[in-house]
Copies of this chain bind each other. A is one copy, B any other.
Amino acid sequence: MATTTPGSTSGSPTAPPAIDVPALAGFLDGRYAEVRELVRANLVAHASVLREAETMSRPEFRERVRRLVATMAGTGQTGMGFPKEYGGGGDLGASIAAFETLAFGDLSVLVKVGVQFGLFGGAILMLGTKRHHDAYLEDLVSGRLFGCFAMTESGHGSNVQALGTTATYDPATDELVLSTPDDMARKDYIGGAAQHADAAVVFAQLHVAGEDHGVHAIVVPIRENGALLKGIRAEDDGLKMGLNGVDNGRLWFDGVRVPRGNLLNRFADITDDGRYESPIESPDRRFFTMLGTLVQGRVSVGGAAVNAAKVALTLAVRYGARRRQFNATSSDEEELLLDYGLHQRRLLPLLAENYALHFAQEVVAAHLHEVFTPKPGEVEDEKARRELESRAAGTKALATWHATRTIQECREACGGAGYLAVNRFAALKADTDVFTTFEGDNNVLLQLVAKGLLTDYASDFEDLDQLGMVRFVAEQALETVIERTAAHQLLERIQDVLPGGDDEWDQEAGVRDREYHLAMFRFREEHRLSGLARRLKRGVDDGENMGEVFSRAQDHVIAVARAHVERLVLEAFVGKVRAMPEGDHRVALGLLCDLHALATIESDRAWFMEHGRLTATRSKAIQREVGDLCRHLRPLAVDLVDAYGVPPELLRSPDLLG
């Protein structure tokens, strides 16, 4: 299995490059290979949980998952992102790597870990100060204290600023009083709220001395010895499509009192004499700064999605390489599924996209690690932070949609067998489904990305709510964007990478040129951005309601964001391949990278034709090339999925893998 064709020599035009699976696996694991191996070992040790998800009752399985998370906490696997003085590992990057790898296993365990350490723990770490760290971190890192993250309400998911829960400061007792004004303001879909959480980080409108200061986070004890505390009502969200090992639920607060000190006060506080104060003056900006520190959640979900898709790809590719059906080229033997052109076309571009997103995710995770691990004396770079937030949002959106699509296609490629629970797709599909809408609805996230582009990550950006944002874009940002992306510059740039300039646009030579791919992606991004800016500006100039102009242009807004993130993803892949030493692996990943670039161009080729960047002839040539690349990659496919290193114990699927 280590090499596809033992005798092949790289560089030979016919023999495919030889892949050393363990070496490629190590390359994919990257900097945190050891951490990933630890998680793999933990997952294998507890692989029975995948079966138990099917055989246990819901209450049993929830308890099983809770205990397993506590056990894993004991190995240090789940606390890597917390400071060492509280029992953590002091390495945020390691923490992300550990989380991503968890996605090879049962995803209730993954999400339970995410809620406990990423959301609950992350909020206390990032929004709290030393007194909160001292009070909670050691217990939560060790898995003794389970908590939940009570942000979303029935009435407000995406629009967090409009939450209804209130926290009113009562100077008489020096306490905060939490209330749920109506049922739309109940906290909803909160992992841990139904059963296991003893504490909650509650997001509420903070009222001090009669003034609403916007949404803040407060630590609220909600249970003691499993019993709800006074004033707290909880309800189970009941059966969900998937992730049924996580006890999602609803919470109502009826005049619940907590000490003033429970306000997570890194960015705003109530003084001893009962005044509200914050170093950040603008309420909107304060809010977005707070939310911004929680970006880790999105990075984590994006990475998990990429890895969950790897499980599906491993199964479908390996099945396709052993399952035969129909005598297609010979009367003696039926054909392997993966030798059919259509089957290659269905699976291999998704495999390429998965590799691309793997490397893009590596870049985001490293970026996150850097931004949140400041070196002594370093000044915080606000723009870098905002770019990270945008990139995390965009990568999360693309990666989670990729997972949904890939798992679906892989299931279908395994036919009826793919429908049996033992073959993993049932859980993969049901459990990952919510990834596209939790931790930020993907479409909302892409709009965030687009707004970052329209404003060039201006600091003012964070001072504004949705409507204010639209006004800012209309009044200030558009001219700049239009100038910045003046089309003639772009055209020149593309002509540069084409040997003969526009005159030889049609020639097929160069269709595999990576500079050409990058130029196409960049052109599309900038052209779409300037087009959007001009479109919005026309609306402004015509005196229309800017909200309506935005709504009408919304599919263009999404398209701009997608083009931007796709460019970042391709750059990550190309950068990675370029940095590799010469050799067969570089050749193999180069083929994958080309397939990814061309399949992306192919799927948006209408746009390129509409904007004069593709002739019909070249568009057809690209489609042919995608088919050719699939055929070239066919012999490497099994090695490429084996290099993901999904432990066989987690694949299950005896009938698919034989």
Report yes or no: A421 in contact with B239, Cβ–Cβ below 8 A.
Answer: yes
- Would you give the shortest CB distance from A621 to chain B, in whole angstroms? 11
CB–CB A616/B612 < 8 A: yes
| Choice from B239, B340, B438 contacting A551 with Cβ under 8 Å | B340
Q: Please judge, given known A-B contacts A334-B159, A342-B555, A610-B616, whether A241 and B416 are in contact too, CB under 8 Å.
A: no
CB pair A421 B340 closer than 8 Å: no
A419 touches B404 (CB 8 A): no
Q: Are B438 and A555 in contact (CB under 8 A)?
A: no
Bound Cα distance A520, B325 (Å): 36
B189–A416 CB distance below 8 A? yes
Stretch at the interface among A10-18, A19-27, A429-437: A429-437
Q: Kindly list chain B residues whose C-beta atoms are within 8 Å of the C-beta of A416.
A: 152, 157, 188-189, 434, 437-438
* A467 nearest CB neighbor, chain B only: B327
Contacts of A442 in B (CB 8 A): 412
Taking CB atoms, residues of chain B closer than 8 Å to A341 are: 551-555
- State which residues 406-460 of A face B: CB under 8 Å: 408, 411-412, 415-422, 425-426, 429-430, 433-434, 436-438, 441-443
A443 and B345 CA atoms in complex are apart in Å by 12
Contact yes or no, B328 A467, CB < 8 A: yes
Q: Check A578 for interface membership: any CB of B closer than 8 A.
A: no
Q: A467 vs B327: C-alpha distance in the bound complex, in angstroms? A: 6
Which of A425, A437, A470 has the most chain B CB atoms inside 10 A of its CB? A437
The reply to whether the CB of A487 lies closer than 8 angstroms to some CB of chain B is: no
CB <8 Å contact, A611 and B606: no
CB atoms of A426 and B325 under 8 A apart: no
Q: Are B328 and A466 in contact (CB under 8 A)?
A: yes
Contact A620 B609, CB 8 Å, known A415-B158, A545-B329: no
**Which B residues are in CB contact (< 8 Å) with A438?**
416
**Complex Cα–Cα for A54 and B188 (A):** 20
Kindly state the separation between the CA atoms of A412 and B551 in the bound complex, as whole angstroms.
Answer: 19
Q: How far is the CB of A422 from chain B (nearest CB, A)?
A: 6
Pair B415/A404 contact, Cβ less than 8 Å: no
Q: Is A156 an interface residue (CB 8 A)?
A: yes
Contact A627 B555 (CB under 8 A): yes
Q: Does A331 touch B at the CB level, under 8 Å?
A: yes
Q: Which residues of B contact A553 (CB under 8 A)?
A: 341
Question: Which residues of chain A from 322 to 336 have any CB-CB distance to chain B below 8 Å in the complex?
Answer: 325-331, 334-335
Q: Is A175 an interface residue (CB 8 A)?
A: no
**B430 adjacent to A415 (CB under 8 Å):** no
| Cα of A271 to Cα of B555 in the assembled complex, Å | 68
Q: Which of B156, B404, B420, B557 contacts A240 (CB 8 A)?
A: B420
Q: Distance in Å from the Cβ of A68 to the closest Cβ of chain B? A: 20
Complex interface: chain B residues within 8 A of A437 (CB):
412, 415-416, 418-419
- Judging by beta carbons under 8 Å apart, are B419 and A433 in contact? yes
Does residue A463 face the partner (Cβ distance < 8 Å to B)? no
Q: A159-B334, A342-B554 are in contact. List 19 more A-B contacts (CB 8 A).
A: A54-B239, A157-B325, A158-B326, A238-B421, A239-B426, A240-B420, A241-B420, A241-B426, A241-B429, A328-B467, A328-B470, A328-B547, A330-B467, A335-B551, A340-B554, A341-B554, A412-B441, A419-B433, A611-B616
21 A-B pairs within 8 Å (CB atoms) are namely A54-B239, A158-B326, A159-B326, A162-B327, A239-B421, A239-B422, A240-B421, A326-B466, A327-B466, A327-B547, A331-B467, A335-B547, A411-B433, A412-B437, A415-B441, A416-B434, A419-B434, A426-B430, A429-B429, A605-B606, A609-B616
List of 9 A-B pairs having minimum Cβ-Cβ separation, nearest first: A329-B547, A241-B426, A606-B606, A239-B421, A342-B554, A610-B616, A341-B554, A328-B547, A189-B416
